[in-house]
């Protein structure tokens, strides 16, 4: 597995990471713990050194799974986790909370669940409008000085927040959605990251599974699947958006690869400091995803893909109104 540096920092990780959320949270019933541990260790065996989790995934459960899986190989991997929420009744209500004292409590819990004495990359999960970002960055700066955290990250933050945070404590990476069917970061975010030397970690690089081609126009999602709330996964949107998958299939067939591999190879080709973190619960999908790191898209390939993308208009918002209100601040 090739490696990449996140921005101008010393954090060097596998070119493709592993987004662990779906093993415990967001996409239906949680994977059996032993199966999840085995899959994460299989990723390590295949050269993956970058694993992404968060306190909110479960909540708490995903960090425990990741901690159990990576404890025997802790010196070989980088673990990213996130703070930023208090949990309401039954741990289901997510309330923004990035107060400094809460950040510290969250980090102590994450360290314990992850079975480690240091977090490689600590993200603010969502910007809290009630806490100045300077206070957040300053708290993480103190945690870095104390040796409990190595690098600071933001997730779904807007340009001004990124600049203000970076002025207090250099930001190593921004994690936000970016893929062939969500290219909004290209407008304002990517130029700022390049200017400041900040890496980019795209989550949902396969469009929450849609770009794999495995989700048909008639797909339905249970109440415990996050996609059931996403306008882009409504029956009408799924039907309309099949045009994009059809084009990916066409190009993938010509190159002898899969649509998912084209989607990931395209992301890797955008900038050398981009590290996507696809998630999966299946070993064959893990192998498929990691195979994308070996695919080189030529300039002709990229021009052709750009031309194909101009033929389709993606239908549906990527978030419900409630979730949309929490991004881009």
Tens of pLDDT, residue by residue over 34-50, are 999 999 999 999 999 99
Domain-located, residue 142: yes
Which pLDDT value is given to residue 309?
Answer: 87
By CB neighbour count within 10 A (0-12 exposed, 13-18 middle, 19+ buried), where does 259 fall? buried
Domain-located, residue 13: yes
Give exposure, 209-218, as e/b (b: 16+ Cβ within 10 Å).
bbbbbebeee
Which string of DSSP letters, residue by residue, matches 239-277?
HHHHHHHHHHHHHHHHHTS-HHHHHHHHHHHH-TTB---
Which pLDDT value is given to residue 93?
Answer: 86
Which pLDDT value is given to residue 265?
Answer: 98
- State the virtual CA torsion across 81, 63, 112, 74 in degrees, nearest 10: -80
Domain-located, residue 25: yes
Q: What pTM was estimated for this model as a whole?
A: 0.97
Which pLDDT value is given to residue 88?
Answer: 83
Residue 66 belongs to domain with CATH number: 3.20.20.100
Which pLDDT value is given to residue 239?
Answer: 95
Residue 18 three-state SS = strand
Which pLDDT value is given to residue 128?
Answer: 98
Domain-located, residue 278: yes
Which range of residues forms the domain containing residue 286? 3-208+264-294
Domain-located, residue 11: yes
In the block, tokens 């459960």 appear at 61
Which pLDDT value is given to residue 42?
Answer: 98
| Residue 274: strand pairing partners | 200
Task: Give start and end residues of each alpha helix (H) in the chain.
Answer: 33-45, 61-70, 100-113, 133-145, 159-168, 189-196, 235-255, 259-270, 283-291, 299-309, 321-324
Domain-located, residue 75: yes
| Bridge-based pairing state of the strands 119-124 and 78-83 | parallel
Please write down the HEC assignment for all residues of 144-184: HHCCCEEEEEEECCCHHHHHHHHHHCCEEEEEEECECCECH
Domain-located, residue 227: no
Domain-located, residue 231: no
Give exposure, 95-109, as e/b (b: 16+ Cβ within 10 Å).
ebbbbeebbbebbeb
Which of 57, 60, 178, 319 is catalytic? The answer is 57
Which pLDDT value is given to residue 177?
Answer: 98
- State the virtual CA torsion across 298, 252, 317, 307 in degrees, nearest 10: 50
> In sequence order, what are the residues at sequence separation of 6 or more whose Cβ sits closer than 8 angstroms to the Cβ of residue 183?
none
Q: Per-residue pLDDT tens, the chain, 329 aa: give them.
A: 999 999 999 999 999 999 999 999 999 999 999 999 999 999 999 999 999 999 999 999 999 999 999 999 999 999 999 999 999 877 778 999 999 999 999 999 999 999 999 999 999 999 999 999 999 999 999 999 999 999 999 999 999 999 999 999 999 999 999 999 999 999 999 999 999 999 999 999 999 999 999 999 999 999 999 999 999 999 999 999 999 999 999 999 999 999 999 999 999 999 999 999 999 999 999 999 999 999 999 999 999 999 988 988 999 999 999 899 999 99
- Identify whether 57 is a catalytic site residue: yes
Which pLDDT value is given to residue 233?
Answer: 96
- Total tally of structural domains belonging to the chain: 1
CB of 110 closer than 8 Å to CB of 81: yes
């Amino acid at each position: 597995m090739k490696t990449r540096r996140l921005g101008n920092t010393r954090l060097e990780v596998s070119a493709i990471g592993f987004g662990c959320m779906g093993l415990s949270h967001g996409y239906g019933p949680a994977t059996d713990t032993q199966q999840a541990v085995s899959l994460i260790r299989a990723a390590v065996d295949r050269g993956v050194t970058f694993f992404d989790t968060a306190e909110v995934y479960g909540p708490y459960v995903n960090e425990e799974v990741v901690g159990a899986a990576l404890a025997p190989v802790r010196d070989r991997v980088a673990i990213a986790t996130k703070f930023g929420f208090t949990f309401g009744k039954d741990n289901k209500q997510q309330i923004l909370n990035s107060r400094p004292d809460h950040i510290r409590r969250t980090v102590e819990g994450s360290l314990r669940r992850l079975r480690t004495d240091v977090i490689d990359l600590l993200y603010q999960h969502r910007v809290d409008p009630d806490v100045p970002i300077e206070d957040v960055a300053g708290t993480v700066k103190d945690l870095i000085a104390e040796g409990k955290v190595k690098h600071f990250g933001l997730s779904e933050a807007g340009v001004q927040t990124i600049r203000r945070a970076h002025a207090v404590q250099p930001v190593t990476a921004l994690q936000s959605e970016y893929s062939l069917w969500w290219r909004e970061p290209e407008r304002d975010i990517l130029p700022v990251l390049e200017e400041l030397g900040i890496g980019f970690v795209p989550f949902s690089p396969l469009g929450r599974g849609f770009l794999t081609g495995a989700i048909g126009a008639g797909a339905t999602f249970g109440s415990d699947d996050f996609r059931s709330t996403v306008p882009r996964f409504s029956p009408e949107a799924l039907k309309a958006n099949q045009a994009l998958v059809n084009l990916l299939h066409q190009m993938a067939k010509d190159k002898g690869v899969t649509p998912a591999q084209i989607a990931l190879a395209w992301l890797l080709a955008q900038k050398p400091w981009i590290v996507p973190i696809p998630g999966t619960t299946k070993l064959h999908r893990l192998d498929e995803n990691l195979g994308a790191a070996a695919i080189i898209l030529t300039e002709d390939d990229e021009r052709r893909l750009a031309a194909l993308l101009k033929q389709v208009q993606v239908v549906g918002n990527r978030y419900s109104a409630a979730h949309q209100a929490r991004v881009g601040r």
